[in-house]
Structure 1
Amino acid sequence: MLDARIRPFIDPLLNAQGRKLARFGISANQVTLLGLTLGLTAALLIALGAPGWALLPLLLSRLADGLDGAVARASQPSDFGGLLDISCDFAVYGAVPLGFVLADPASNGVAGAFLLASFYVSGTSFLGYAILAEKRKMTTQAQGVKTLYYVGGLLEGAETIGFFVLLCLWPVAFAPLAWVFGTLCLVTAAARVWLAWRVFS
């Protein structure tokens, strides 16, 4: 919901830094893998009971996620890079809730399972829509220049990052927050399916 609104403000900054990294010979895929490593480090710290310490690598991971596209646009974007980017994003989005479950399975297990299931459904609706949009040769730059077709929704990247930050700052509230956010993920997925029905049927 917020991604398209904040893009005009953050894209110029990311693109400027992306051009600098590209000039140093750093590839977009290297930035993507750095973001994955930082995100998994954050998840590990959460699992070890240190969610506060996880905040820095988590935020740096999401910064890398924004920078990899900027580096690609400044050098040579590729279809594989787009696939690697979304795969690493989903890996981090799954690992962070898993970290909270592993930190306290008794309190967080059921809510964490529901949250991960909702991510699965939401991710499927996102990628399924992208496949159908590509089949129809549809394009959009509402979320910036992307390899995949990005359809918006109630919850997008900015909301997910904010949710993860809130969890790290308030880990004892993981279960109720996970139920609420997971429910909103399902609403997002349902909205995408409804939109697909209107557009593609």
Structure 2
Amino acid sequence: MLDTHARKMVQAPIEHTARWFLNKGFSANQVTILALFTGLGTSLLYVLGYPVAAVLILWLSGFLDAVDGTMARHSKTTPFGTVMDITFDRVVEVSIIVAIAYVHPEVLWPLLLLTVSIVISMTIFLVVGSVSEKAGLKSFYYQAGLAERTEGFLIFSIMLLFPSLLYWSTLVFFVVELFTGIQRFIEARRILS
């Protein structure tokens, strides 16, 4: 929801950074890889006991993830770039879930439910994107929903920073993600029927 409706408020620094990378000779795919490794740093820092640093690195990876898409739109989008972007986003999310499970094994079941809801929601998102004839600014049809990347980062931040709220924040994330999957499924029926 925030990615779709609030992007214009943060687009200027994203645009500036994208142009900087392009002027330095970087490709969108290189920044996608940088965003991946930065995001993986979140999990490492969390496991090592640095949750504040982990959250800061998480948001940096999200910023780089937005920058790479802007770079691609200014240069040339490629189907493989889209595959890398979506895949690496999920790798970062799963690595955070695994890191939290390692540090807090007492919340394995809520984390498992969260993972299931992400798989369901992303499956619908990807299938609709691949079978839909609509095209947006991205290289596939982008289904907006209640939980987009920014909402996920907000809830992940709460999960990483406030262990006393971990059980409930994980369940809230699960419900929000499952609602998003249902929302996307209903939209898919409407646009693909």
Q: TM-score, normalised by structure 2?
A: 0.94
Count of residue correspondences = 193
| Native 8 Å contact 1:122 1:185 kept in 2 | yes
Match of 1:156? 148
Structure 1 residue 76 displacement after superposition? 2.4
1:192 is the counterpart of 2:178: no
CA separation in 1, counterparts of 2:164 and 2:115? Answer: 18
* Separation in structure 1 between the aligned mates of residue 190 and residue 152 of structure 2, nearest angstrom: 26
Alpha carbons 2:100, 2:160 under 8 Å: kept: no
State the Cα RMSD in Å: 1.4
Report the Cα distance in structure 2 between the residues aligned to 1:172 and 1:29, rounded to whole angstroms: 38
Structure 2 gap ranges (5+): none
Per the TM alignment, residue 160 of structure 1 is displaced from its structure 2 partner at its CA by 0.7
Shift in Å, 1:139? 1.9
Residues 46 and 54 in structure 1, CA contact (< 8 A), matched pair in contact too: yes
State the shift of 1:117 in Å.
0.9
Cα distance between partner residues in 1 of 2:17 and 2:40 = 24
Contact 1:100 1:174 in 2 (8 A): no
Q: CA deviation at 1:27?
A: 1.0
Q: TM-score, normalised by structure 1?
A: 0.90
Does residue 130 of structure 2 align to residue 138 of structure 1? no
1:10-159 correspondence to structure 2 within 5 Å: 10-105=10-105, 107-133=106-132, 137-140=133-136, 145-159=137-151
Quick one: which amino acid aligns to residue 89 of structure 2? D
Q: Percent of counterpart pairs with the same letter?
A: 33
Aligned-pair distance for 1:54? 0.7
State how far apart, in whole Å, the 1-side matches of 2:130 and 2:28 are: 23
Q: Which runs of 5+ in 1 are unaligned?
A: none
